[in-house]
Amino acid sequence: MKLPPHITEQQLSSRLDRFEIETPSWGYADTGTRFGKFLQDAAALTIHDKLADAGHVHTLTGCCPSVAVHVLWDFTPGTAPADVKKFAESQGVRIGSINPNVFQDQAYKLGSVANPDPAVRQMAIQHLLDSTRLGEALGSDTLSLWFADGTNYPGQGHLRRRKRWFAEALQQVHAAMPASMTMLVEYKPFEPAFYHTDIADWGMACALARAAGPRAKVLVDTGHHLPGANIEHIVAFLIDEGMLGGFHFNDRKYADDDLTMGSIDPYQLFRIFYEISLAEHDLGGPLPIAYMIDQSHNLKPKIAAMIQTVMTAQEYFTKALLVDHHAIARARDSGDIIAAERCLQEAFTTDVRPFLGRYRAARGLPQDPLDSHRQSGYEARAAADRLPRKPRASGSYA
């Protein structure tokens, strides 16, 4: 592995040590498409299953110490936050971001905080406030907000009025957050709303985050862009505006496909990491960015897919650190496009797997966490435990 002059293998390792990736509780459960779910025997059912899986992933990878939780799917009535927090600790992980759900209840048919019915808007805000409290109780420092609000047909909604409702709701929630909590506002151009989405792009998320308050930032889900969007440019722009809060990583070929990170366009993933690496180089230290996974492992075994994802994240993050900042600056200054491009390409082409093997070994971790998982028998044990508890059917499109 050829290192650029500005970094040693030790510094590389040291930067990697601070590269933590949050896995989502729902990524361990059965998910699917509108046409149905293909159930997996070992898929997690309860928050305890999910935390156990997340703990297993962290044990093997060493870089996934926190777990995103979902208020509705994880906290059934009667689940005590303190117990969950304690159970997480017993599995070697902690609770990361808290994710409210204001889209699943039948009341949200026409929206949550932008619902034309004030009672529903209030119900949604209350859920957000409750989630903030729950997050506090769980020790979470991140309130991660995704809204399904939007309309399906032209004329259905009053777009500017809905924007105002959103601003008011976010302000109210921001005001109620403890000082240690950050609000992340996610954007998405479509789905499940098909004509307009209230927070459709980074610009809208940024405007609403600013309206909410100083601790609100933008959450970039890599699958939530229109075809052709230059995501790394958006990332760089948000960094410069001081508004990049974090990522939901996944990959896509068409829409919000929620495939494994880097599985379709690894060079784009590398370029995103490069913009972060460049900004940290320029600014002299790590940026406070939440790196989170949000994928839908419809077909792949869930834990294996999660480990594969984490390994991919480490691989491309490492490659991005290998770009020679001085050489590329020289090439840019002299207008040498090919030389500048080659700086990226050489880092991208470098095979960092041997280094990552050494890196993991030095930390007492398996060199290939995916193989270790496959040989661990974990999945078979999980299936044996969970299968008897599973519902038989998975719903139907119509």
Nearer to its own copies, 119 or 179 (CB): 119
Stretch that binds its own copies, among 123-131, 159-167, 169-177, 357-365 (CB under 8 A): 159-167
Nearer to its own copies, 108 or 136 (CB): 108
CB 142, min distance to its own copies, A? 19
Nearer to its own copies, 365 or 370 (CB): 370
- Count helices and strands in the chain by DSSP H and E runs: 15, 10
**Cα-based angle 278, 279, 285 (whole degrees, multiple of 5):** 105
Tell me the site size for its own copies, rule CB under 8 A: 115
Would you give the binding string for its own copies spanning residues 18-57, x where CB under 8 A is met? Answer: --------x--xxxxxxxx-xx------------------
Stretch that binds its own copies, among 8-16, 175-183, 345-353, 376-384 (CB under 8 A): 345-353
Nearer to its own copies, 8 or 349 (CB): 349
| Helix (H) / strand (E) containing 218 | strand 216-221
| Dist CA 25 CA 74 (whole Å) | 8
| Dist CA 194 CA 149 (whole Å) | 10
Contact residue for its own copies among 5, 155, 284, 364 (CB under 8 A): 155
Spatial contact of 185 and 218, defined as CB atoms under 8 Å apart:
yes
Site for its own copies in 57-86 (CB under 8 A): 70, 72-73
Length of the chain: 398
Nearer to its own copies, 345 or 376 (CB): 345
Site for its own copies in 114-143 (CB under 8 A): 116-117
Nearer to its own copies, 33 or 180 (CB): 33
Nearer to its own copies, 156 or 172 (CB): 156
CB 75, min distance to its own copies, A? 13
Residue whose token pair is 């209350």: 126
Residue type, 59: T
Q: Residue 142, exposed/middle/buried by CB under 10 A (0-12, 13-18, 19+)?
A: buried
Site for its own copies in 89-118 (CB under 8 A): 103-104, 106, 109-110, 116-117
Would you give the binding string for its own copies spanning residues 164-193, x where CB under 8 A is met? Answer: x------------------------xxxx-
CB 348, min distance to its own copies, A? 8
| Dist CA 295 CA 27 (whole Å) | 6
Contact residue for its own copies among 222, 275, 306, 369 (CB under 8 A): 275
| Dist CA 301 CA 305 (whole Å) | 6
Contact residue for its own copies among 81, 96, 135, 157 (CB under 8 A): 157
Q: DSSP per residue over 164-181, as a string?
A: HHHHHHHHHHHHHS-TT-
| Dist CA 85 CA 94 (whole Å) | 7
| Dist CA 141 CA 118 (whole Å) | 29
Nearer to its own copies, 27 or 55 (CB): 27
Site for its own copies in 224-263 (CB under 8 A): 226-230, 232-233, 236-237, 239-241, 252-255, 257-260, 263
206 binds its own copies (CB under 8 A): yes
Q: What's the per-residue H, E or C state across 14-54?
A: HHHHCCCCEEEHHHHECCCECCECCCCCCCECCHHHHHHHH
| Dist CA 303 CA 209 (whole Å) | 33
Contact residue for its own copies among 287, 299, 380, 384 (CB under 8 A): 299
Question: Which has the closest alpha carbon to 46: 91, 79, 90, 93?
Answer: 79
Both tokens of residue 124? 């949604």
266 binds its own copies (CB under 8 A): yes
Measured from the Cβ of residue 137, the count of other Cβ atoms closer than 10 Å reads 15
387 binds its own copies (CB under 8 A): no
Contact residue for its own copies among 156, 172, 367, 372 (CB under 8 A): 156
